[in-house]
Each structure stands twice: as C-alpha cells, then as structure tokens.
Amino acid sequence: MGKKSSFELSVDLTKSLIWPLFAFVLLVSFWAPINNILKKIPSIIDRSESITIAGLSLKIEQGLNVRPTDTVKKVLSKISADGVKKLMNKKNSSYYDSKVWPKRENEELFRLKLIEEIPKKELNQHEFGIRSTLLGKECQKFLDVIMVGIVKQLAR
C-alpha cells in the first residue's frame, strides 16, 4: 500500500469522527427527555412489582394490601409448584404417628425453613408434628393475597 494523500486522510478522519459526533449531537438534543425518563425509573419500579413463585413470574398489582419482603420473594422464587400446594395446606399444625413419612414428604418445606418440627413437649400422644414457621406463615399470607387477587381478576 502506498502513502495516502492528505485528502484521503481527511476523509478517513471525517469518517471516524462522524458517528461519535452524531451520537453526541443526539444526546445533547434529547438530554431533557432522557433525563426525565431516568428520574422517573425509580418510581416506575416502585409502582410495578413482580415476583417469581415456583418458576412462574407474576406481576403484583399496586392495590394489594400485602407486599412481600425480600426474604419472602427469595423463598418463593425457590419453591416448586408442589411445594406451594403443600405450604398452602399447612395452615394448622399436623400430627403423625411416624417421623419418616412427613419428613420425606415435606423435605422441601423443611429445607426452605417454611415448616418446623414441633418440640416433643408440645406433642402430647403423637410421635411427630410439624407447623408453619413465621416465614412459612408470612409466605402463606402473601400467597393467599395473590390467590384472592387472581380470583378478582377472573371475575372482571
């Protein structure tokens, strides 16, 4: 390749500067609208919320009385659909004559700390019992609100 003339160098320089210059002009021209949008993003995020439960992402309406805590969101994003069913059925304490079946059957809920073993001194005649933890009750309450919201949406 031979030496480039000064005209060719000028054209190459212009080509390399035109896109950054164009982008800069656009940015300056639209600075006010872009700035307004960026300022509104936090309030938009606050007003629209979604949560993942058992692999299903749901958008939460603003009218809900209960907002999930970060812990509830985290736990519900890890739970399976079967785990949700079991959690919703654990509203009251459950008592068993054996420890093996309920532990195996509810392994996921134990692992996520949504249910706990009832201490021996509270069991009376039963060998084993389980009940919802505070986190489990919080998740149940939130799931109840979600279910009511879904039913209300279906009625519209």
In a domain, 124, yes or no: yes
SS (H, E, C) the chain: CCCCCHHHHHHHHHHHHHHHHHHHHHHHHCHHHHHHHHHHHHHHHHHCEEEEECCEEEEECCCCCCCCCHHHHHHHHHCCHHHHHHHHCCCCCEEECCCHHHHHHCHHHHHCCCEEECCHHHCCCCCEEEEECHHHHHHHHHHHHHHHHHHHHHHC
Q: How many domains does the chain have?
A: 2
pLDDT in tens for each of the 156 residues of the chain?
Answer: 567 788 888 888 888 878 778 878 877 787 777 667 666 655 554 554 566 665 656 565 555 556 788 898 889 888 888 888 888 888 888 878 788 888 888 999 999 999 999 888 888 788 888 889 999 999 998 888 888 777 776 666
In a domain, 15, yes or no: yes
In a domain, 137, yes or no: yes
In a domain, 59, yes or no: no
The answer to whether residues 39 and 68 belong to one domain is no
0.85 exceeded by pTM: no
In a domain, 58, yes or no: no
Domain membership of residue 9 as a residue range:
1-47
The answer to whether residues 72 and 147 belong to one domain is yes
